[in-house]
Chains A and B, each alone.
Chain A
Amino acid sequence: GAVVSQHPSWVICKSGTSVKIECRSLDFQATTMFWYRQFPKQSLMLMATSNEGSKATYEQGVEKDKFLINHASLTLSTLTVTSAHPEDSSFYICSASPLFGGSSPYAEAFFGQGTRLTVV
């Protein structure tokens, strides 16, 4: 199956610093990728839709200036958590679907392995 790679797998940073998380589709192209956040023992919440070559679309309640998304190519989307605070500590995970399959309502979504962010 298609592979989505996320990097880093885990990161610890100090309050006030920024952290960049990468999401790469290794063997397919994706015009759209999605970013989710998961707090401990909770479900995944969609944060934003990353669109190649255009601005990301954010879900209600997600601060676009805090969570910067850049989808510079058909295989890479980045999420930057700016001025991180302890409440931003969470598990962040991305997903993508192949360009061809993504146009089908019956295509599977492929997820990265997630990034655990701890802000101290």
Chain B
Amino acid sequence: SQQGEEDPQALSIQEGENATMNCSYKTSINNLQWYRQNSGRGLVHLILIRSNEREKHSGRLRVTLDTSKKSSSLLITASRAADTASYFCATDPSKGFSGGYNKLIFGAGTRLAVHP
């Protein structure tokens, strides 16, 4: 079952604008990861934020995590047409999972369209 919701479901912006996507989840987590998926393709790992971290940056990406609200946001600054894709958050709620971690539960995703 899905862990939570993402909003917006779809986002359409112009190149150069910032894009913000939000993700909510239901259970306690070890980490939260953001992925990008181009249409019909595999997943590209963007960033992992640990449960004890509040903010993380990677290039034009900024991720925040609020464990008290069970929510996270992904900000893409100065967007480009090449950023057009679906973005998913994924949480790892494993607790002492004997086989390891990364049994990921994905959010519904946000479809981002960046227009030139």
Query: Interface residues, chain A, CB within 8 Å of chain B?
Result: 1, 6, 30-32, 34, 36, 41-46, 49, 51, 59-60, 91, 93, 95, 97, 99, 102-114, 116
Closest to A93 in B: B42
Q: Min CB distance, B96 to chain A, in Å?
A: 10
Tell me whether chain B's interface is mostly helix, strand or loop, or mixed.
loop
Q: Are A113 and B33 in contact (CB under 8 A)?
A: no
Please pick, from A1, A31, A93, A105, the residue contacting B99 in the complex, using a CB distance under 8 A. Answer: A31
Please determine whether A103 and B40 come into contact, CB atoms closer than 8 angstroms. Answer: no
- B45 in contact (CB, < 8 A): yes
Chain B's closest residue to A40 (CB) is B40
- A51 and B33 CA atoms in complex are apart in Å by 23
Between-chain CB contacts (< 8 Å), 7 pairs:
A36-B106, A43-B2, A43-B106, A45-B2, A102-B102, A105-B51, A108-B48
Nearest-neighbour CB distance to chain B for A28, whole angstroms, equals: 12
B45 touches A43 (CB 8 A): no
Tally of contacts, chain A with chain B, CB under 8 A: 88
Minimal beta-carbon separation of A116 from chain B (angstroms):
7
Q: How large is the interface on B (under 10, 10 to 19, 20 to 34, 35 or more residues)?
A: 20 to 34
CA distance A119 to B99 in the complex (A): 33
> Which chain B positions have C-beta within 8 A of A99?
100
* List of A residues within 8 angstroms of B105 by Cβ: 46
Known: A105-B92, A106-B50. A46 touches B104 (CB 8 A): yes
Interface check B26, CB cutoff 8 A:
no
| Residues of A close to B108: CB separation below 8 A | 42-43
**A102 contacts across to B, CB distance below 8 A:** 99-102
Known A105-B31, A106-B50, A113-B41; contact A97-B2, beta-carbon cutoff 8 A:
no
Given A43-B2, A108-B48, the answer on whether A103 and B101 have CB atoms closer than 8 Å is yes
